[in-house]
Amino acid sequence: MSRKYAILGETLKHTMSPPIHARLFELKNREYEYEILEVKPEELKGKAEYLNSLNGYNITIPHKIGIIDYTDELDQSAKRYHSVNCVDNKNGRHVGYNTDCDGFLRTVRAMNIDFTGKILLIGCGGVGRMMAIEAALAGADLYIAVLESDMPLAKQVEKEIKAMKSDARIT
């Protein structure tokens, strides 16, 4: 039985998702269909019913936040980061995940990186924001380096971290 999946984004000419997923499904000996859905933000609502008919889909910019309105549930990392990059259709319930966080944390653990020391993060937008939060929550002395123009963003990330962990050490 063939299952249907897609990647959702606005501009996807660069995406490597189809060949990556082709190989993953091949390794699992599964039949599947995988399509590219280029959708402008103002068209997302009109695509929601179709998206929810799929077995699952990946999400990239600019829909990682907008798609939340069309999910039934969010996992913990998607809630924490208010960002979804995968939706799984679990018996008609559409569950949003943020696998960027999971991948980052698994890589850190696999490399035996100790987050209790000093950590330098260059930039703090998008995935960098997630890395900053995870490092601080793990107990790091976090140093965030940004351009002067990104100082408001860095201050916002610091505020978010302090709301989650008041004794976090951030410079």
Catalytic residues: 64
Instruction: Locate 7 and state its tokens.
Output: 């990647």
Is residue 41 within 8 Å of 66, Cβ to Cβ? yes
Long-range contacts of 142-150 (CB under 8 A, 24+ apart): 142/168, 142/169, 142/170, 142/171, 143/118, 143/119, 143/170, 143/171, 144/170, 144/171, 145/120, 145/121, 146/122, 150/123, 150/124, 150/125
* Residue corresponding to tokens 């699992």: 28
